Amino acid sequence: MHQFPVTVYYDETDLGAIVYHANYMKFIDRARADWVRGLGVDQNALRDEGMVFVVHKIEAEFLSSARLEDRLVVTTDVLDVTRSRLFLDQRVYRGETLLFRARVSLVLMSLDGHPRRLPDALRALGCERVTAAE
């Protein structure tokens, strides 16, 4: 499981005095960027080769609110990996309290919209999961 820290700043809050809901999507996106970087995947190099990650589906539950100055942790777990797709479980915690939970499916695509083979470092995660289950 990958962990990524986020501190809530003023520009992320709304008139409800809580984190604006769409900003959780940015928090978990930053965590994904950090996660793939840690696996040796260079998104700028991918883009230079004409490939980008595209979000295909998100199922998100907003369970409790985060506020200004909160220290949050985003966790990222792999649920499944196929040739072109990643299925992730991402959660946002403040201490032990679960605030937000999402299932995210991502596709690596060419700039003209065709699915592309994921880098080996990501494909290997699918193999590891199979091995771990055996």
- The pair of structure tokens assigned to 39 is 């696996």
For residue 53, the minimal CB distance to other proteins (Å) is 8
Residues that bind other proteins in the complex, under the rule CB under 8 A = 15-18, 21-23, 25-26, 29, 43, 47, 52-62, 64-65, 109, 111, 113
Contact 35, 41 (CB under 8 A): no
Q: Which of 24/81 has CB closer to other proteins? A: 24
Q: Which of 50/124 has CB closer to other proteins? A: 50
For residue 26, the minimal CB distance to other proteins (Å) is 6
Q: Which of 24/126 has CB closer to other proteins? A: 24
Rounded CA gap, 18 and 26, in Å? 15
For residue 125, the minimal CB distance to other proteins (Å) is 22
Tell me, letter by letter, the H, E, C secondary structure of 26-75.
Answer: HHHHHHHHHHHHHCCCCHHHHHHCCEEEEEEEEEEEECCCCCCCCEEEEE
Catalytic residues: 14
